[in-house]
Amino acid sequence: MRNYFIIFLALFSIGFYSNESHAQQDAQYTQYMYNTLSINPAYAGSRDVLSFVGLYRTQWVGLDGAPDTFTASLHSPVGEKVGLGLNITHDEIFITSETYIDLAFSYTLDVSDEGKLALGFKAGGHFLNIDTNKLNTGAFNPGDADAEINIDNKFSPQFGLGVYYYTDSFYLGLSAPNILETEHFDENAANNNSFATATERVNLYLMAGKTFDLNEDLKFKPSTLFKIVRGAPLQVDLSANFLIQDKLTLGAAYRWSAALSGMLGFQVSDQLMLGVAYDRETTQLKQFNDGSYEIFLRYELFKRNNRMISPRFF
């Protein structure tokens, strides 16, 4: 049964990149509240420090060809109103690999005594690889043109927009990390005018979170993320985290009709935070894998004006 499923995954990957399908999605993260720059350029500089985040996610462990994602971001304020950031994401799934490199710019407006509204823009590039030499399933005949889809570091430009409103205890963001819908073609195909091997779609993100002080040593933050892609089901992530004595974070999350998750984070020092997450599928897919894992690191290189940042979770 496992082999049949892997063959199905191979077939799905080919269909996923054919001109019959338009549902490509960006990588997903359980700990999205710590990795906001990858989906919203307006987040750049909002932590008021020079901040580095690295996150690695391995999905559906034990299943051949399952997604692996690594992302790293660096961002900082550069003045009172402007923030700059850099984000690099590498995503692999079965016969494909993608690399995104983006520069982010944000401009922040004071809209109330506590609230700030940041407007963000990002620009960069996307590199796509598809290697059908990995299709060793016997599902295709040698020389089958439809199976010989090979793309080598195909470049396409990326542009994204975002808005991000935040206070010390609340945030609300709306973003489209890439507003270009680019079609990639197999440059080696016999009929290059009619065979689209990949079509990128706009991914729209809506996210929100709120921190509640339950007592002097305990804070609670529910948060949510909605992800909308034309041609794909709505993705909804609901999460709840508790911060204990400004050090230990414990949380749980639910990805609607997809997975349950547990999260653990620890503020090692004022500068360094480490975290892990584990997802378990709630669909039939759970019988073919051992779950998904994430680890992340956040390091604040210095503090602006020598003051502590509020432990906002975000």
Q: What does each C-alpha distance from 59 to 47, 274, 280, 285 come to in angstroms?
A: 29, 19, 10, 12
pLDDT score recorded for residue 278? 97
pLDDT score recorded for residue 14? 37
Q: Which amino acid is at 229?
A: V
pLDDT score recorded for residue 25? 61
pLDDT score recorded for residue 308? 46
> Looking up tokens 């400004």, which residue turns up?
246
pLDDT score recorded for residue 4? 39
Evaluate whether 104 touches 37 at the Cβ level (below 8 Å): yes
CA–CA dist 175, 244 (Å, integer) = 31
Evaluate whether 5 touches 288 at the Cβ level (below 8 Å): yes
What DSSP line would sit under the chain, residue for residue?
-HHHHHHHHHHHHHHHTSTT---------TTGGG-GGGT-GGGTTTTSEEEEEEEEEE-STTSTT--EEEEEEEEEE-SSSEEEEEEEEEEEETTEEEEEEEEEEEEEEE-SSS-EEEEEEEEEEEEEEEEGGG--SS-S-TT-TTT--EEEEEEEEEEEEEEEEE-SSEEEEEEES-----EEE-TTSS-TTT-EEEE---EEEEEEEE-EEEETTEEEEEEEEEEEETTS--EEEEEEEEEETTTEEEEEEEETTTEEEEEEEEE-SSSEEEEEEEEEE-SGGGGG---EEEEEEEEEEEEGGG-PPP----
Q: pTM of the entire structure?
A: 0.83
pLDDT score recorded for residue 106? 98
Domains of the chain: 2-306 (2.40.160.40)
CA–CA dist 56, 72 (Å, integer) = 9
CA–CA dist 15, 24 (Å, integer) = 11
Residue 306 zone, left/alpha/beta (φ > 0; ψ -120 to 50; rest): left
pLDDT score recorded for residue 119? 98
Q: Which amino acid is at 43?
A: Y
CA–CA dist 36, 137 (Å, integer) = 38
For 169-209, the pLDDT digits (tens) are 999 999 999 888 766 555 555 444 444 555 667 889 999 99
Ordered per-residue pLDDT tens for the chain, 314 residues: 444 344 344 444 434 433 444 444 677 899 999 999 999 999 999 999 999 999 999 999 988 888 999 999 999 999 889 999 999 999 998 888 999 999 999 999 999 988 999 999 999 998 988 887 766 655 445 555 555 567 777 888 999 999 999 999 999 999 999 888 766 555 555 444 444 555 667 889 999 999 999 999 999 999 999 999 887 788 999 999 999 999 999 999 999 988 999 999 999 998 999 999 999 999 888 888 899 999 999 999 876 554 444 555 67
CA–CA dist 86, 99 (Å, integer) = 13
pLDDT score recorded for residue 141? 54
Evaluate whether 180 touches 203 at the Cβ level (below 8 Å): no
